[in-house]
Structure 1
Amino acid sequence: MGDWSARHRKTAVFGWLLFVVLAAYLGGAAGSHKITDSESMPGQVAQAAGILDRAGIKTPAGETVLVQDPGLTADSAGFHDTVDRVVAALRATGKATALRSPYDTGAVSADRHSALVQFDLVGDQDRAADNVTAAQNAVADVQRHSPGFRVEEFGEGSANKWINDQFENDFASAEWTAVPLALGILLIAFGALVAAVLPVGLALTAFIAAGGLTALSSSFLHTSDDASSVMLLVGLAVGVDYCLFYLRREREERAAGRDPRTALRIAAATSGRAVLVSGITVVVAMAGMFLTGIADFKAMSYATIVVVVTAVLGSLTVLPALLSMLGDRVEKGRVPLLRRLKAADPSSGSRVWNAVLTPVLRRPLAATVLATGALLALAAPLLTMHTANLTFQQLLPKGNALVQTSERIQAAFPGAPAPAGVVVKATDIESPAMQQAITDFKARALASGRMHGPIEVTVHQAQNIAVIDVPLNGSGNDATSTAALRTLREDVVPHTLLTVPGTVAPVTGDTAGSHDFNQQMTSSMLPVFGFVVAFAFLLMLASFRSLGIAVTAVLLNLLSVGAAYGVLTLVFQHGVGASLLGTAGVGAVESWVPLFLFVILFGLSMDYHVFVVSRIKEAHDRGLETRAAVAHGIRSTAGVVSSAAIIMVAVFAVFGTLSMQSMKQMGVGLAVAVLVDATVIRGVLLPAAMTLLGERNWYLPRWLGWLPDLGHSEPVAPPADGPTAGAPELVSM
């Protein structure tokens, strides 16, 4: 592929540009089809959403206005007047329907100092974020003219609007921060503008093309906002890394005195192969997320696979063509200051790695024990890890106005902001038997002591469906709420509603959604882990035809993932150092984050592993004994691994600064794992383990001799010692 691209460079370059433009245009024209409610959650929640979808019932977004005064009670004339003004202001917007005064519904707190005005936004939930602004402005106007009162709004529309706006702002912030950051690091690494721009340009065009392809195919596999974020995160990281590996090897061969075509062929046969193998590994690992059965995971998996395949395709086609076109002009735009710094001490990077590598190779057993012990200590907090589907209050930054409002509503009206919903589908919803069952349901729910009023029933007679809203005790995702949900599902519903033949009554709502999601995650954890580990092992076995290298790769990856889990638990669950990230411990790790991190890290960490071990195997195949091959492989890849790791850590760390708790956890977890992987794993444990194994690294049982040889087909002579004058040298950072 590299040789063809170099010989047909115009075709390769313009073909790539045409592909990117067409993919982006067609994807934009087709539009993105987002995951529906019935797809997004498993269990009874999905069943309830499916019933409503098939019946054509669009559940409106519910909103609540808290009217509160510490001095006046709801019985006073002044309090009553404020409530009336809220109702009138909302009605005047034309965006509120089903307005309900607390004097009609009884939504007054036990101490009589708080009341709830409840209403629905016109239209369905998809339009809630657009329609809520008028209501918020009306409530804010009442607040300004009501000194002494607290008049605040919270609900599905308010929450969705804040999340959508913040998601868009965070996404733009990540783009505008991560891209210049990667460019700056590459500029320091190469000391030349053209060489620095190439990896970023490739990554961005791969991301643009992948975004178009994902949108184009979203009609049969729906996408999500989370998928777009992950695609940017992974696309930028792997796109830059793949180009960096390829470019670094081509420049190294040119520095050794080889002609341009030979340098490209060697880069294609070595780094190009490493890119292909690592890309396949990421794709296979991400495919494991399909086993979860959760639509958002499938969307993230598919988007990541598309962007990785696109980045690999660009690295193996358009990159060799561009390098063939540019030749040594890839060194254009050199930065004088960086050039002087590198000229002053060109081997500073290698001295750093030598300082680490020399004692490791001298005492490999001690290095293995110490490094493994340190990583196990870092991973130890994962034994206390508690995962949960974080509530709105936990997801948003501490001190957020909406969070404070929801907490005040929760304090005055436990269970009020997010009641459970029972979707009743009956043969005849108006039959006497069904009406009696609903009456019995209310009585049994209140008698349980785990639910409270007001219990509201909305009947859709034409579709024979009723939706019953039941406030649960507890905060929404604590043990009290979970116990109430279990009572509702296992006792109240079966002994009342389901006694009527032909009736189904799945329970939905935030608490139910969190419970069902966690159940699905727990049941899918083992299959996903097994799938990823097994296929990563088989890919390493086929790539290097070595049992030892395959086993070592899996074990080392598990250590880096464990360390990331430990840090996540320590920071985000227990709050240790959380203030440094602008957050606080929330008592739990977002339930989808550990599985997502495992899958993506098992794929991404193979970037370095394949690149470094390929270099070690290359040296061993030339006749070096294992210890010398390990030393050569680590030293010759130190600069590029350091640069690539810093870029990945920087990109992931940007996501650790975003507002949403889930994005913070994902970014920090990825950054920690990559940092550990590129330093302790690749700099200490890998060389120590391979030195201890010696020639057993290359052992392949006879019964596995049928495995294909995926190594490059031509031997690569060792490069000359040291770069030639004026040749680029990546600094190890």
Structure 2
Amino acid sequence: MSSFLYRLGRSMVRHRRAVVAVVLALLVALGAAAGFLQKGMDNSVSIPGTESQAALDRLAATFPEVSGSSAQILVVSPEGTSVRDEGVADAVRATTDVLAARDDVRGVQSPFTDTLTGDPVAAADADGLSDDDRAALVTVMMSGAGTEIPTAVKDEIADIVADLSTALPEGWTASVGGELYSSEFPTITVTEALGVGVALVVLILTLGSLVAAGLPLANALVGVGLAMALVLLATAVTPVNSSTPMLALMLGLAVGIDYALFIVARHRDQLRDGLDVEESIARATATSGSAVLFAGLTVMIALVGLGVAGIPFLTTMGVAGAVAVAVAVVVSVTLTPALLGFAGERVRPRPSRRARRAEARAAAHAAQGTAAQGPSALDPAVHAAADAAPAPAGTAPAPDAAASRGAHTEAPRTRADRFFAGWVQTVTRRPLVTIAAVLAVGTFLALPALDLRLALPNAGVLPESSQARQTYDRITEHYGAGANGPLIVTASILTSDDPLGLAEDIAAEMRALPGVADVPLSTPNASADTLIVQVVPEGGPTDEATADLVQDIRDQRDRLAAEYDIDIAVTGFTAVGIDVSAKLGAALLPFGIFVVGLSLVLLTMVFRSIAVPLKATFGYLLSVVAAFGVVAAVFENGIAADLLHVAKLGPVISFMPIVLMGVLFGLAMDYEVFLVSRIREEYVHGGDARAAIRSGFRGSAQVVTAAAVIMFSVFFFFVPEGDVNIKPIALGLAVGVFVDAFLVRMTLVPAVLELLGDKAWWMPRWLDRFLPSFDVEGEGLHAELALEGWPAAGTAIAARGLRVDERARLAPDVALDVPDGGVLVVDGPARAVTGLLLTLAGRVAPAGGDLKVGGLALPHRAGAVRRRVGWVDSRHADARAVEAALRENPHVLVVDAAHHLHGSARAGAALSAAQAAGTTLVLGTSGADVLPPGVTPTHRLSLTTIDAPTATSPAAAGVLR
């Protein structure tokens, strides 16, 4: 991967104009397509397999009047008056007549009109008024779900209610709310933009250059533009929740800035060390780009994993978020290198004052060595000149003696380096104390999570300025909280010969249940095959008592079936919300197992360790529960609620925990990879586990800190004015990122690694062989760069000090130099020959030494080598297999057991023709002269083995697998 990204980065620089043009063209094309084809957001909540959803689907066919969304109109009289005023009743009847005449209205339920006959009811005899006779509640039943009703229709109904309010006497009010108006589409405000402003400031402070700071922002904005266009385009083919683009926007901004920052920061570090611009961009794309790719992949997998809940709108949110992250990754490894190419030398850091002093001091010493009279290196004028002199463009400070000795002895070069050096020294001095302190703080933050409650939002959590929120509060005041979320109990009554009597009986059964405030409606449909009973709970839609009442009603199913021969079901907007919360709660455990298991596997692949993945997973869980705790403290307990503009205390959105777990998993892996991979890189190169902690931490801590601050800012500024659904998620992500970056990765991780020492990097050999390797540190690239220039051009196979897998029993230190079009004949014991040939063909990793085939280093480019090298085992094939392999035009063809083709003129002709055409041949035989006819070897290699078995033993005839 690092080799591929190295070539990609270099290509992006060389074709930077074309890259920018393609990206801009894509942005314009997708934006235009989204503008023309998008169908708007859809806030419908469908939960396949739940009782409430199934009952709602049945009602759509049998009782459509009550299956759609509904609006509530509340008329309130002034203090000291009564709503039982005939003039007011006439105004309300006129309004309900206008509403009932609309094609999009199924029916209207009013206290001043008989529900069954439609006849007027005298105000003095009206039922369904509030106990204080100051409020009348009208329910308007719409055709279709709320999300299917256009905004224009909602506005028209609101205008009709406004006309009613105008027609009422002075001091009377009429307002509209209810399920139809329970959600508002989110908008972007100036507050969210402040997060981007903070990100810019952090980037300038971190990178020290306005040009360098602008690149990650440009990368993120382009990525967000592409992602948002794709999300809007998706509305043309599938429903997309209004919270989905906000989540995609948050994630796209945060990871887009951070991913580009990691690449730009590595590029500047390499420029500081004197690397050429193009080479530095290619290497930064290969090393940091590999980590970006891995980190983005983990976020995407976790987001797509939200589909385990089995809730369509949540799956859509996860996929949209994953698309935003994928776009951010692709833009980071393509557009960022191109923009860095345009920036050129302008992002090269100026040498620090300390470096300029060292350079001036060295120059002064050199002058003293060549002239008897020269300025002293201790002369203050020399220091002043060094401090004042600007660094020439395109130059880097000369490495000092400490730097030349390796990373472990490099002195901190900047104030930030010195700070982080002191920090890691402090947290690793007494690792047990540090670990205990982190656990104590994490536990303290997590404790409020015990109070966390989940529910779907309703109009009660909208801003107080919203008319729907005002209506919700007034209904609560005059009718009780349950009137804002009545339940619908439905049953099939095909076998009943007295539908009206049965309706009264079931209503009486419902009234007898504890927690029921009222049963205002109990009626069969026109065909008398379906019964509905409207049940008003004592508690509000999101109260635990209401969820208990729903369960109590469902518990009556068997008794009512035996007594009345009916099968009841509970549905309605409130019951749907309760079922959503229950299903999401049940999905948390399997999703948590999925995420934790994925974390352990991926991190084990990356770090080749047992302890590091366990520590990282524990740190992730600590971050999650701490985020849950802070969200509960704010939204349930009211801590800092006014500061964060929380409209109403109570349960948070049902999908907050699972979304938070998925997103935070990926982000936590980001910091783990970028911090610990640098430490592992130092350990692999230096061998001292504890020294690697300090040098690796200093090398990555500043960038990880900047990335965490940026991500925290982007998320946090979505809280004060954010969408009611996004608020708790944004706060949870902000807290989770802060805890994970600073409490876990920057404090707990160094302490644990210090405590474990070399044991932190232990891994069973069998597991190391079994797991694939994900080279996020770019070790393969470093190996390739180290072998650059070897061997000479035109060499097909080159090896020096090559050692083959020990199972081949081959003596060490094989050396080869075979030119293009050459023929290498390898003879010796079958096991040894096969082992070497499999290694040359990229099928088995070499045990040591250097090996290049077709200019590609093994084992790092094994995949590419296998695509270019053909393989034929003549023990199980004939001349036709050789011809088939040559039709693939391999750069190298390896034929094992070629002595089996000794008498095949057809095979010999095919191999001779391939050699003449420039294909390099590698033939393994039992003897140097046992070859297919017509094949002329140019190179020979006779193998010796360690404890070679006899020719008749099974081991000698065996094939390495």
State the identity as a percent: 30
Counterpart of 1:731? none
1:289 matched to which residue of 2? 306
Q: C-alpha distance in 2, partners of 1:55/1:254?
A: 72
Q: Is the 8 A contact 1:35 1:296 kept in 2?
A: no
Deviations 1:632-688 (A, max 9, x none): 111122221122111111111111112544422212111111112222222211111
Corresponding letter in the other structure for 2:610: L
Between 1:224-233 and 1:13-22, the stretch displaced more is 13-22
Deviates more, 1:103-112 or 1:627-636: 103-112
**Which structure: greater helix fraction?**
1
Residue 646 of structure 2 contacts residue 720 of structure 2 at CA under 8 Å; is this kept in 1? no
Amino acid corresponding to residue 270 of structure 1 in structure 2 = T
1:396 equivalenced with 2:402 (yes/no): no
1:216 to partner: Cα distance: 4.3
Q: Unpaired segments of 5 or more residues in structure 2?
A: 115-126, 350-386, 391-411, 786-961
Match of 1:115 in 2: 136
Work out the CA distance in 2 between the residues paired with 1:308 and 1:346. Answer: 34
What is the correspondence of 1:87-486 to structure 2 with a 5 Å cutoff? 87-89=93-95, 91=97, 98-104=107-113, 106-120=127-141, 125=146, 126-127=148-149, 129-143=151-165, 146-160=169-183, 163-164=184-185, 167=186, 169=187, 171-173=188-190, 176-217=193-234, 222-330=239-347, 347-382=414-449, 384-392=450-458, 394-397=460-463, 401-414=467-480, 415-424=482-491, 432=497, 437-448=502-513, 450=516, 452-457=518-523, 459=525, 461=527, 467-486=532-551
Alignment partner of 1:86 is 2:92: yes
Whole-Å Cα distance in 2 between the matches of residues 305 and 37 of structure 1? 21
Letter in 1 for 2:417: S
Q: Is contact 1:290–1:298 with CA below 8 Å preserved after alignment? A: yes
When the two chains are superposed, the root-mean-square deviation of aligned CA atoms in Å is: 3.3
Aligned to 1:544: 607
1:140-169 Cα offsets, whole Å, 9 max, x none, are 454455224343332233434xx13xx2x3
Unaligned runs of 5+ in 1: 333-339, 719-733
Report which stretch shifted further, 206-215 or 308-317. Answer: 206-215
Aligned-pair CA distance for 1:690: 0.9
1:227-266, Cα deviation, whole Å (9 max, x unpaired)? 1111001111111111000111011101100112331232
Which one-letter code corresponds to 1:682 in the other structure? R
Aligned ranges for residues 2-21 of structure 1 at < 5 Å?
A: 2-7=6-11, 8-10=14-16, 11-21=18-28
C-alpha distance in 2, partners of 1:150/1:703?
Answer: 76
Distance in structure 2 (CA, Å) of the matches to 1:457 and 1:188: 69
Contact 1:108 1:114 (8 Å CA) reproduced: yes
CA distance in structure 2 between the partners assigned to 1:441 and 1:349 by the alignment: 73
Structure 2 distance, partners of 1:411, 1:444, is 27
Give how far 1:174 is off: 6.0
TM-score (structure 1 length as normaliser): 0.86
Looking at structure 1, the residues matched to 68 and 175 of structure 2 have their Cα atoms a distance apart, in angstroms, of: 23
1:579 Cα deviation from its structure 2 partner: 2.4
Does the aligned pair in 2 maintain the 1:616–1:632 contact within 8 Å? yes
Please list the CA deviations of residues 443-469 of structure 1 after superposition, one character each: whole Å capped at 9, or x if unmatched.
Answer: 32234352523115472649x655543
Q: 1:374 to 1:179 in 2, by over 3 A?
A: closer
AA aligned to 2:133 is R
AA matched with 1:351: R
In structure 2, the CA distance between the partners of 1:220 and 1:528, relative to structure 1 (3 Å rule), is farther
Supply the AA of the counterpart residue of 1:80: E
Name the CA shift for 1:634/1:148 in 2 (closer, same or farther; >3 Å). Answer: same
How far apart, in 1, do the equivalents of 2:343 and 2:77 lie?
70
Amino acid at match of 1:636: G
Matched position secondary structure for 1:81: helix
Task: Give, as a single letter, the amino acid of the residue that structure 2 aligns with 1:110.
Answer: D
More strand by share: 2
Name the SS of the counterpart of 1:65 in structure 2: strand
Cα distance between partner residues in 2 of 1:682 and 1:715: 26
**Shift in CA distance, 556/480, structure 1 to aligned 2, threshold 3 Å:** closer
Q: Quick one: distance in 1 between partners of 2:36 and 2:165?
A: 44
> How many residues in Structure 1 have an aligned counterpart in Structure 2?
694
Alpha-carbon distance change, 85 to 470 in structure 1, aligned in 2, over 3 angstroms? same
- Indicate if the aligned counterparts of 1:5 and 1:12 stay in contact, CA closer than 8 A: no
The aligned counterpart of 1:61 is 70
Distance in 2, Cα, partners of 1:292 & 1:494: 32
Are 2:672 and 1:598 equivalent residues in the alignment?
no
Distance 1:262 1:303, change over 3 A: same
Question: Is this contact kept in 1: 2:192–2:714, CA < 8 A?
Answer: no
Report what 2:707 is aligned to: 644
Using the alignment, how far apart are the partners of 1:385 and 1:668 within structure 2?
17
| Offset at residue 492 of structure 1 (A) | 6.1
1:729 corresponds in structure 2 to none
1:44 and 2:51 correspond: yes
Shift of residue 135 of structure 1? 3.7
Contact 2:460 2:472 in 1 (8 A): no
The reply on whether 1:71 has 2:80 as its aligned counterpart is yes
Counterpart amino acid of residue 596 in structure 2:
V
CA distance in 1 between counterparts of 2:755 and 2:650 reads 42
Residue 30 to residue 147, structure 1, CA distance change in 2 (3 Å): closer
Partner residue of 2:752? 689
Q: Is the 8 A contact 1:381 1:570 kept in 2?
A: yes
**Cα offsets for 1:288-332 (capped at 9, x unmatched):** 211111122211110111111111112222322332343223479
SS at 2:782's partner residue?
A: coil
Structure 2 residue identity aligned to 1:432: D
Q: For residues 426-446 of structure 1, what are the alpha-carbon distances to aligned partners after superposition, in whole Å with 9 as ceiling and x for unaligned?
A: 7x59x7365554343223223
Distance between the aligned counterparts of 1:679 and 1:520, measured in 2?
34
Task: Label 1:123 to 1:4 Cα distance change in 2 as closer, same or farther (>3 A).
Answer: closer
Matched residues in 1 for 2:710 and 2:43: separation?
35
- Look up the match of 1:632: 695
Structure 1 CA distance for aligned equivalents of residues 295 and 83 of structure 2 = 65
2-structure distance, mates of 1:62, 1:280? 44
Name the SS for the 1:483 alignment partner.
helix
Partner of 2:574: 511
Counterparts of 1:54 and 1:274 in 2: how far apart (Å)?
Answer: 54
For 2:466 and 2:231, the matched residues in 1 are separated by 34
- Contact (CA 8 Å) 1:441, 1:497: kept in 2 or not? no
Question: Contact conserved, 2:9 with 2:285, CA < 8 A, in 1?
Answer: no
Query: Does the alignment pair 1:616 with 2:679?
Result: yes
Report the CA distance between 1:73 and its aligned residue: 2.8
* Mean Cα deviation higher: 5-14 or 361-370: 5-14
* Superimposed CA distance per residue, residues 42-81 of structure 1 (whole angstroms, 9 cap, x where no aligned partner): 6122213333556794725332222334322344xxx221
Return the alpha-carbon distance in structure 1 between the equivalents of residues 531 and 585 of structure 2: 32
What is the alpha-carbon distance in structure 2 between the residues aligned to residue 498 and residue 519 of structure 1?
29
Decide whether aligned partners of structure 1 residues 66 and 418 sit closer, same or farther in structure 2, where only a CA change above 3 A counts.
farther
1:152 and 1:584 map into 2 onto residues whose CA distance is: 19
Change (3 A) 1:99 1:593: closer
Q: Matched residues in 2 for 1:205 and 1:64: separation?
A: 45
Amino acid at match of 2:506: F
